[in-house]
Structure 1
Amino acid sequence: MNIKNYLKRAAHFLLFGIPEIHTTAHIVSLAPNELLKERMALITGGTSGIGYSIAKAFLYSGANVCITSRNEERLKATCMKLKTIQPFFEDRIYGIVMDNKRIADFPKKIDDILLMSGRKSIDILVNNAGVLGGDISTTTEDIYDEILDTNLKGVFFLSQTMGRYMRDNHIKGNILNIASSSSLRPAASAYTLTKWGIRGLTLGLAKVLAPYVITVNGIAPGPTATPMLGKDEEGDITFHTNPLGRYVLPEEIANMAVFLVSDMGRSIVGDIVYMTGGSGLVTFDDVTYRF
């Protein structure tokens, strides 16, 4: 151990009274499989972070995938990137420009996806798109509206649109909401407020859609190594105030997403799987509250 690392560990122990955790992440990615063979998934906000990792995991599991973004160039670049990973992704990844705030567009977007992909139906929706911010000490009404419309209102109405579509077409489908450890925290920001809403919406959707064999669940990640948090999963993922000792990785969330929307997860209904590393569950020390 070099002197710099020794001093760093000593300082951490003196400040916090516990030794510094040296974290490594040994993530087991799913091997190519047929858990989602012949299924069609719509993933909002799929160009980076958790959405991108879920798209890739779904492709490895045999699904056809359509990702959304508000930026057409970014969408094209991401689809091209996924197509270069494996030859068998080539004809199974699609992208469509979609803004969660433009609710009136949703029915046509479904038609456009079906036409583009040549598929007969869409049977998986992953509500992943979202934006951070809106701290109660500084936020404005415009910022508040932007966050609520994107993170909650858009999810509500896209779920309504897809729920009706699946029900009317007798599709045994899945809706998976990406919530957050913030849904367990004091709601001192617009973002946190939306995640409390997603938590409740997941329960409500599961209740009303279960009779139509449409399974609804959620995943609540803790702080995750994504561009949204200014993190790169290839870089330093140490996070001292998280009991896990590090950031959660998007691949971990994606593995769980595959399980929950596959037939293996069919008896899990209205649940939120908390993948937080302890953040929000056993500690709030990773977030600063101020006014």
Structure 2
Amino acid sequence: MRRALVTGGSGTLGAAIARALAADGCHVLIHANAAAERARSLAGEIAAAGGSAEAVVFDVTDAGATAAALESLLETGPIQILVNNAGIHDDAVMPGMRREQWSRVIDVSLNGFFNVTQPLLMPMIGTRWGRIVSLSSVAAIAGNRGQTNYAAAKAGLHGATKSLALELAPRGITVNAVAPGIIASPMADGAFDADAVKKLVPMKRAGRPEEVADLVAFLTSERAAYISGQVIAINGGMI
């Protein structure tokens, strides 16, 4: 059974991805930081449905704590599927943005990517099979007012994805990014009402978390063995 780590797995999108990977037969490591109880509850739900999952708790911005947590997880074998889903918003127009807003968003999405991904690479390389998918955003492709920090962080993942894909391709490991648009969640529902969604999205609706999860599950499967270094948008035709 392959082991899959989903960072930010306690959130709406992360939970959908965790369920999809569990349904595909993976043992899913559901990561959380502040929302540890939600991760544990989700792991219990997956197990009750016949899947295999456990919760893991650490702060992706803390390099030492992340390394220690991953070292412990690797004692029982390599993690061959990694979904870098952890990320935060802290929106403000750039003239009024505080340095802490910039740094924190970059720290979680981009430094967190390094802190989690780098320690897993050599064990993954040893198996000559792996899948790495990072969750980006339509904001990284088209920009978005009030999200210069978020767009910069997610756009950084695009460059990292393409470069890492070149490094790992000879080892049987694919590296891709998925860039969702407006996806139904408590956060998105608070930011976009139905009329706004109809104006912004040609398909006239928000995407479902399960639709993004299905794409991630495909990219982490055997069927996607020849897809690497790609940024794949899923946004209902927004761009």
1:228-239 equivalences in 2 (<5 Å): 228-230=187-189, 239=197
Please state whether the residue corresponding to 1:240 is helix, strand or coil: helix
Gaps of 5+ in 1: 1-37, 282-291
Could you say which residue in structure 2 is the equivalent of 1:240?
198
2:65 to 89, 97, 105: 105
Displacement of 1:236 in angstroms is 6.5
Q: Deviations over 1:19-72 (max 9, x none)?
A: xxxxxxxxxxxxxxxxxxx21100000112111101001111111100111132
- Structure 1 contact 178–218 (Cα < 8 Å) conserved: yes
Could you say which residue in structure 2 is the equivalent of 1:67?
30
Q: Deviations over 1:69-120 (max 9, x none)?
A: 1132232222223333x1x12xx101111111011223322232245xxx53
Please state whether the residue corresponding to 1:67 is helix, strand or coil: strand
Give the aligned residue type for 1:182: A
Structure 2 distance, partners of 1:248, 1:172, is 31
For the pair 1:126 / 2:83, whether they are aligned, the reply is: yes
Could you say which residue in structure 1 is the equivalent of 2:40?
76
Give the aligned residue type for 1:177: S
1:29-108 equivalences in 2 (<5 Å): 38-71=1-34, 72-84=36-48, 86=49, 88-89=50-51, 92-108=52-68
Could you say which residue in structure 2 is the equivalent of 1:13?
none
Structure 1 distance, partners of 2:53, 2:16, is 13
Call closer, same or farther: CA 1:137–1:198 in 2, change over 3 Å: same
Displacement of 1:165 in angstroms is 3.0
Please state whether the residue corresponding to 2:47 is helix, strand or coil: helix
Higher gyration radius (CA): 1
Structure 2 distance, partners of 1:177, 1:113, is 20
2:221 to 262, 269, 284: 262
Could you say which residue in structure 1 is the equivalent of 2:118?
160
Structure 1 runs, 4 residues or longer, greater than 6 Å off: 235-238
Displacement of 1:199 in angstroms is 1.2
In percent, how many aligned pairs have the same letter? Answer: 29
Structure 1 distance, partners of 2:40, 2:218, is 28
Please state whether the residue corresponding to 2:119 is helix, strand or coil: helix
Return the TM-score normalized by structure 1. Answer: 0.74
- Structure 2 contact 61–115 (Cα < 8 Å) conserved: no
Call closer, same or farther: CA 1:261–1:137 in 2, change over 3 Å: same
Aligned residues between the structures: 233
Structure 2 distance, partners of 1:236, 1:53, is 22
Displacement of 1:238 in angstroms is 7.8
- Structure 1 contact 205–216 (Cα < 8 Å) conserved: yes
Could you say which residue in structure 2 is the equivalent of 1:140?
98
Displacement of 1:205 in angstroms is 1.0
Displacement of 1:250 in angstroms is 0.6
Q: Deviations over 1:221-269 (max 9, x none)?
A: 10111233246xxx97982121111111110011111111111000001
- Note the aligned Cα RMSD (angstroms): 2.2
Give the aligned residue type for 1:200: G
